[in-house]
Protein backbone atom coordinates (compact mmCIF):
# COMPACT_ATOMS: atom_id res chain seq x y z
CA UNK A 1 0.00 0.00 0.00
CA UNK A 2 1.33 3.42 -0.95
CA UNK A 3 1.88 6.13 1.65
CA UNK A 4 -0.88 8.27 0.20
CA UNK A 5 -3.45 5.46 0.37
CA UNK A 6 -2.35 4.59 3.92
CA UNK A 7 -2.75 8.20 5.09
CA UNK A 8 -6.16 8.50 3.45
CA UNK A 9 -7.32 5.26 5.09
CA UNK A 10 -5.95 6.36 8.46
CA UNK A 11 -7.66 9.77 8.24
CA UNK A 12 -10.90 8.11 7.20
CA UNK A 13 -10.83 6.10 10.43
CA UNK A 14 -9.52 8.84 12.74
CA UNK A 15 -11.80 11.64 11.54
CA UNK A 16 -15.06 10.30 13.01
CA UNK A 17 -13.26 9.20 16.16
CA UNK A 18 -11.79 12.66 16.73
CA UNK A 19 -15.13 14.32 16.00
CA UNK A 20 -16.88 11.96 18.42
CA UNK A 21 -14.25 12.58 21.10
CA UNK A 22 -14.54 16.37 20.78
CA UNK A 23 -18.33 16.16 20.79
CA UNK A 24 -18.36 14.07 23.97
CA UNK A 25 -15.98 16.30 25.95
CA UNK A 26 -17.91 19.38 24.80
CA UNK A 27 -21.44 18.10 25.34
CA UNK A 28 -20.91 16.07 28.52
CA UNK A 29 -20.76 19.03 30.97
CA UNK A 30 -24.00 20.43 29.54
CA UNK A 31 -25.62 16.97 29.63
CA UNK A 32 -24.61 16.46 33.27
CA UNK A 33 -25.91 19.93 34.16
CA UNK A 34 -29.29 19.17 32.58
CA UNK A 35 -29.52 15.78 34.32
CA UNK A 36 -28.68 17.35 37.69
CA UNK A 37 -31.42 19.92 37.19
CA UNK A 38 -34.02 17.13 37.00
CA UNK A 39 -32.78 15.21 40.06
CA UNK A 40 -34.07 15.32 43.61
CA UNK A 41 -31.49 16.62 46.09
CA UNK A 42 -31.80 13.52 48.29
CA UNK A 43 -31.11 11.25 45.34
CA UNK A 44 -28.10 13.37 44.40
CA UNK A 45 -26.66 13.07 47.91
CA UNK A 46 -27.06 9.28 47.88
CA UNK A 47 -25.70 8.76 44.37
CA UNK A 48 -23.81 11.85 43.13
CA UNK A 49 -22.08 10.03 40.26
CA UNK A 50 -25.21 8.79 38.50
CA UNK A 51 -25.56 10.05 34.92
CA UNK A 52 -29.29 9.32 34.71
CA UNK A 53 -31.88 10.27 37.35
CA UNK A 54 -33.91 7.46 38.90
CA UNK A 55 -36.88 9.82 38.92
CA UNK A 56 -37.31 13.10 37.08
CA UNK A 57 -38.65 16.09 38.98
CA UNK A 58 -39.63 19.58 37.84
CA UNK A 59 -39.63 21.01 41.36
CA UNK A 60 -36.19 22.53 40.74
CA UNK A 61 -37.50 24.55 37.79
CA UNK A 62 -40.60 25.58 39.73
CA UNK A 63 -38.29 26.77 42.49
CA UNK A 64 -36.06 28.71 40.11
CA UNK A 65 -38.75 30.27 37.96
CA UNK A 66 -41.23 31.09 40.71
CA UNK A 67 -39.67 31.29 44.17
CA UNK A 68 -36.26 32.55 43.01
CA UNK A 69 -37.84 35.03 40.59
CA UNK A 70 -36.17 33.85 37.38
CA UNK A 71 -39.29 34.57 35.32
CA UNK A 72 -38.80 38.25 36.12
CA UNK A 73 -35.05 37.99 35.53
CA UNK A 74 -35.63 36.36 32.12
CA UNK A 75 -38.06 39.11 31.19
CA UNK A 76 -35.50 41.75 32.15
CA UNK A 77 -32.73 39.98 30.23
CA UNK A 78 -34.97 39.62 27.19
CA UNK A 79 -35.82 43.34 27.26
CA UNK A 80 -32.16 44.30 27.62
CA UNK A 81 -30.94 41.86 24.95
CA UNK A 82 -33.59 42.64 22.33
CA UNK A 83 -33.30 46.40 22.84
CA UNK A 84 -29.49 46.23 22.68
CA UNK A 85 -29.58 44.20 19.45
CA UNK A 86 -32.15 46.50 17.81
CA UNK A 87 -30.38 49.76 18.67
CA UNK A 88 -26.92 48.32 17.94
CA UNK A 89 -27.95 47.27 14.43
CA UNK A 90 -29.79 50.55 13.89
CA UNK A 91 -26.58 52.46 14.62
CA UNK A 92 -24.09 50.02 13.11
CA UNK A 93 -25.72 49.52 9.69
CA UNK A 94 -25.42 53.13 8.47
CA UNK A 95 -22.07 53.52 10.22
CA UNK A 96 -20.59 50.40 8.62
CA UNK A 97 -22.02 51.33 5.24
CA UNK A 98 -20.48 54.79 5.46
CA UNK A 99 -17.05 53.32 6.27
CA UNK A 100 -17.37 50.78 3.45
CA UNK A 101 -18.72 53.01 0.68
CA UNK A 102 -18.26 56.71 1.38
CA UNK A 103 -14.98 58.50 0.86
CA UNK A 104 -13.90 60.81 3.68
CA UNK A 105 -10.74 61.73 5.56
CA UNK A 106 -9.58 58.93 7.87
CA UNK A 107 -11.96 56.36 6.39
CA UNK A 108 -9.42 53.54 6.64
CA UNK A 109 -8.55 54.32 10.25
CA UNK A 110 -11.99 54.99 11.71
CA UNK A 111 -13.01 51.38 12.31
CA UNK A 112 -9.70 50.70 14.06
CA UNK A 113 -10.41 53.67 16.30
CA UNK A 114 -13.77 52.10 17.10
CA UNK A 115 -12.05 48.90 18.17
CA UNK A 116 -9.58 50.85 20.33
CA UNK A 117 -12.22 50.93 23.06
CA UNK A 118 -11.41 47.26 23.69
CA UNK A 119 -7.89 48.20 24.72
CA UNK A 120 -9.38 49.26 28.06
CA UNK A 121 -10.56 46.51 30.46
CA UNK A 122 -14.19 46.71 31.49
CA UNK A 123 -13.25 47.31 35.12
CA UNK A 124 -11.43 50.51 34.10
CA UNK A 125 -14.64 51.89 32.58
CA UNK A 126 -16.86 50.64 35.39
CA UNK A 127 -16.13 53.34 37.97
CA UNK A 128 -16.54 56.36 35.62
CA UNK A 129 -19.75 54.87 34.23
CA UNK A 130 -21.03 54.21 37.75
CA UNK A 131 -20.45 57.84 38.73
CA UNK A 132 -21.93 59.17 35.48
CA UNK A 133 -25.06 57.02 35.62
CA UNK A 134 -25.58 57.90 39.27
CA UNK A 135 -25.50 61.61 38.38
CA UNK A 136 -27.93 61.01 35.49
CA UNK A 137 -30.29 58.94 37.63
CA UNK A 138 -29.89 55.84 35.45
CA UNK A 139 -28.36 53.57 38.08
CA UNK A 140 -30.70 50.72 38.87
CA UNK A 141 -32.58 51.03 35.56
CA UNK A 142 -32.50 48.74 32.55
CA UNK A 143 -32.09 51.77 30.28
CA UNK A 144 -28.64 52.52 31.66
CA UNK A 145 -27.58 48.90 31.22
CA UNK A 146 -28.81 48.91 27.63
CA UNK A 147 -26.74 52.02 26.90
CA UNK A 148 -23.62 50.31 28.26
CA UNK A 149 -24.18 47.21 26.12
CA UNK A 150 -24.77 49.31 23.02
CA UNK A 151 -21.49 51.12 23.61
CA UNK A 152 -19.77 47.73 24.02
CA UNK A 153 -21.16 46.10 20.89
CA UNK A 154 -21.36 48.92 18.32
CA UNK A 155 -17.58 49.07 17.59
CA UNK A 156 -17.31 45.36 16.79
CA UNK A 157 -20.57 45.23 14.83
CA UNK A 158 -19.45 48.20 12.72
CA UNK A 159 -16.19 46.38 12.00
CA UNK A 160 -17.96 43.11 11.11
CA UNK A 161 -20.63 44.71 8.92
CA UNK A 162 -18.09 46.91 7.16
CA UNK A 163 -16.19 43.81 5.99
CA UNK A 164 -19.39 42.29 4.62
CA UNK A 165 -20.69 45.45 2.94
CA UNK A 166 -17.45 45.67 1.00
CA UNK A 167 -18.24 42.27 -0.58
CA UNK A 168 -21.56 43.52 -1.96
CA UNK A 169 -20.98 44.46 -5.64
CA UNK A 170 -21.15 48.20 -6.20
CA UNK A 171 -22.75 47.54 -9.58
CA UNK A 172 -25.90 46.35 -7.78
CA UNK A 173 -26.10 49.61 -5.86
CA UNK A 174 -25.42 51.63 -9.00
CA UNK A 175 -28.29 49.84 -10.75
CA UNK A 176 -30.57 50.72 -7.84
CA UNK A 177 -29.46 54.36 -8.06
CA UNK A 178 -30.27 54.41 -11.79
CA UNK A 179 -33.75 53.12 -10.93
CA UNK A 180 -34.25 56.12 -8.67
CA UNK A 181 -33.30 54.75 -5.24
CA UNK A 182 -31.79 57.12 -2.74
CA UNK A 183 -28.85 56.10 -0.59
CA UNK A 184 -31.13 55.05 2.27
CA UNK A 185 -33.53 53.13 0.04
CA UNK A 186 -30.56 51.37 -1.56
CA UNK A 187 -29.41 50.23 1.86
CA UNK A 188 -32.93 49.07 2.80
CA UNK A 189 -33.91 47.38 -0.49
CA UNK A 190 -30.58 46.11 -1.80
CA UNK A 191 -27.80 45.96 0.77
CA UNK A 192 -29.71 44.62 3.76
CA UNK A 193 -31.41 41.70 1.93
CA UNK A 194 -27.97 40.64 0.65
CA UNK A 195 -26.46 41.02 4.12
CA UNK A 196 -28.74 38.74 6.16
CA UNK A 197 -25.88 36.38 7.17
CA UNK A 198 -23.79 39.26 8.50
CA UNK A 199 -26.78 40.82 10.26
CA UNK A 200 -27.52 37.49 11.93
CA UNK A 201 -23.92 37.08 13.07
CA UNK A 202 -23.66 40.59 14.50
CA UNK A 203 -27.12 40.38 16.03
CA UNK A 204 -26.29 37.11 17.78
CA UNK A 205 -23.01 38.58 19.03
CA UNK A 206 -24.83 41.56 20.55
CA UNK A 207 -27.52 39.28 21.99
CA UNK A 208 -24.97 37.03 23.70
CA UNK A 209 -23.16 40.01 25.22
CA UNK A 210 -26.38 41.46 26.62
CA UNK A 211 -27.73 38.12 27.84
CA UNK A 212 -24.59 36.80 29.56
CA UNK A 213 -22.79 39.95 30.78
CA UNK A 214 -22.37 40.13 34.55
CA UNK A 215 -20.03 42.95 35.67
CA UNK A 216 -22.12 45.95 34.61
CA UNK A 217 -25.36 44.21 35.58
CA UNK A 218 -23.95 43.74 39.08
CA UNK A 219 -22.65 47.29 39.22
CA UNK A 220 -25.86 49.05 38.14
CA UNK A 221 -28.70 46.73 39.21
CA UNK A 222 -27.63 45.02 42.44
CA UNK A 223 -29.65 47.44 44.59
CA UNK A 224 -32.93 46.68 42.79
CA UNK A 225 -33.79 42.99 42.71
CA UNK A 226 -36.82 43.55 40.47
CA UNK A 227 -34.44 44.80 37.75
CA UNK A 228 -31.95 41.92 37.93
CA UNK A 229 -30.95 40.01 34.81
CA UNK A 230 -30.57 36.23 34.60
CA UNK A 231 -26.79 36.26 35.01
CA UNK A 232 -27.06 38.38 38.15
CA UNK A 233 -29.78 36.14 39.58
CA UNK A 234 -27.71 33.04 38.90
CA UNK A 235 -24.69 34.52 40.68
CA UNK A 236 -26.83 35.06 43.76
CA UNK A 237 -27.91 31.42 43.65
CA UNK A 238 -24.29 30.29 43.40
CA UNK A 239 -23.32 32.43 46.38
CA UNK A 240 -26.01 31.05 48.69
CA UNK A 241 -25.36 27.99 50.85
CA UNK A 242 -29.12 27.49 51.25
CA UNK A 243 -29.71 26.79 47.56
CA UNK A 244 -29.42 23.09 46.56
CA UNK A 245 -27.09 22.18 43.72
CA UNK A 246 -30.01 20.88 41.66
CA UNK A 247 -31.73 24.27 41.82
CA UNK A 248 -28.48 25.98 40.83
CA UNK A 249 -28.19 23.65 37.82
CA UNK A 250 -31.79 24.44 36.84
CA UNK A 251 -30.90 28.13 36.90
CA UNK A 252 -27.85 27.42 34.74
CA UNK A 253 -30.05 25.64 32.20
CA UNK A 254 -32.44 28.59 32.16
CA UNK A 255 -29.50 30.92 31.48
CA UNK A 256 -27.92 28.73 28.79
CA UNK A 257 -30.89 27.32 26.88
CA UNK A 258 -32.03 30.53 25.08
CA UNK A 259 -28.53 31.07 23.67
CA UNK A 260 -28.33 27.45 22.51
CA UNK A 261 -31.75 27.64 20.82
CA UNK A 262 -30.94 30.92 19.06
CA UNK A 263 -27.55 29.60 17.95
CA UNK A 264 -28.83 26.38 16.39
CA UNK A 265 -31.82 28.16 14.83
CA UNK A 266 -29.46 30.56 13.05
CA UNK A 267 -26.44 28.29 12.57
CA UNK A 268 -26.39 28.42 8.77
CA UNK A 269 -26.67 32.19 8.54
CA UNK A 270 -24.24 32.59 11.43
CA UNK A 271 -21.56 30.51 9.71
CA UNK A 272 -21.92 32.52 6.52
CA UNK A 273 -21.78 35.75 8.46
CA UNK A 274 -18.65 34.88 10.40
CA UNK A 275 -16.77 34.11 7.18
CA UNK A 276 -18.04 37.24 5.45
CA UNK A 277 -15.39 39.51 4.10
CA UNK A 278 -12.75 36.80 3.74
CA UNK A 279 -10.64 36.61 0.64
CA UNK A 280 -12.14 34.39 -2.05
CA UNK A 281 -10.16 32.59 -4.67
Digit-coded pLDDT (tens) for 224-278: 888 899 988 888 887 677 778 888 888 888 888 888 888 777 766 665 544 444 4
Do 16 and 97 reside in the same domain of the chain?
Answer: no
For residue 202, CA distances in Å to 74, 82, 108, 258 come to 22, 13, 21, 17
Do 18 and 132 reside in the same domain of the chain?
Answer: no
Do 103 and 224 reside in the same domain of the chain?
Answer: yes
Q: How many domains does the chain have?
A: 2
Do 234 and 169 reside in the same domain of the chain?
Answer: yes
Rounded-to-integer distance, Cα 50 and Cα 79, Å: 38
Do 13 and 118 reside in the same domain of the chain?
Answer: no
279 secondary structure, DSSP code = -
Kindly report the pTM of this predicted structure.
0.80
For 103-161, write each residue's pLDDT tens digit: 767 666 666 776 777 777 778 888 888 888 888 888 888 998 999 999 888 888 888 88
- CATH number for position 202: 1.10.3720.10
Which residues 6+ apart lie within 8 Å of 125 measured at CB? none
Q: Which of 228, 255, 223 is nearest to 73 (CA)?
A: 228
pLDDT at 84: 93
**Does residue 51 lie within any of the structural domains?**
no
Do 149 and 270 reside in the same domain of the chain?
Answer: yes
pLDDT at 269: 62
Rounded-to-integer distance, Cα 241 and Cα 62, Å: 19
Rounded-to-integer distance, Cα 188 and Cα 196, Å: 12
Do 15 and 101 reside in the same domain of the chain?
Answer: no
CB of 133 closer than 8 Å to CB of 220: yes
Do 25 and 133 reside in the same domain of the chain?
Answer: no
**Does residue 217 lie within any of the structural domains?**
yes
Domain that holds residue 11: 3-37
pLDDT at 88: 93
Do 149 and 194 reside in the same domain of the chain?
Answer: yes
Across 23-32, 173-182, 192-201, the highest mean pLDDT is recorded for 23-32
**Does residue 50 lie within any of the structural domains?**
no
User: What string of DSSP letters covers 215-236?
Assistant: HHHHHHHTT-GGG--HHHHHHH
Indicate if the pLDDT at residue 279 is higher than 70. no
Amino acid sequence: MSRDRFERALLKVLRPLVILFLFVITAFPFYYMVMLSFRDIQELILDPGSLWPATFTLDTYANVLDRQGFLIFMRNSAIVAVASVAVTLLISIPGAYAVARLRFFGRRQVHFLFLAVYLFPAIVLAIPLFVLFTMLGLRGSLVGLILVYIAQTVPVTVYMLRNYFETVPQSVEEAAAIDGCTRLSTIWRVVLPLSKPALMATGLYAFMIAWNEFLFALLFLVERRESWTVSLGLSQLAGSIEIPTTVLMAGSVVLTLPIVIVFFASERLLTEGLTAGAEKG
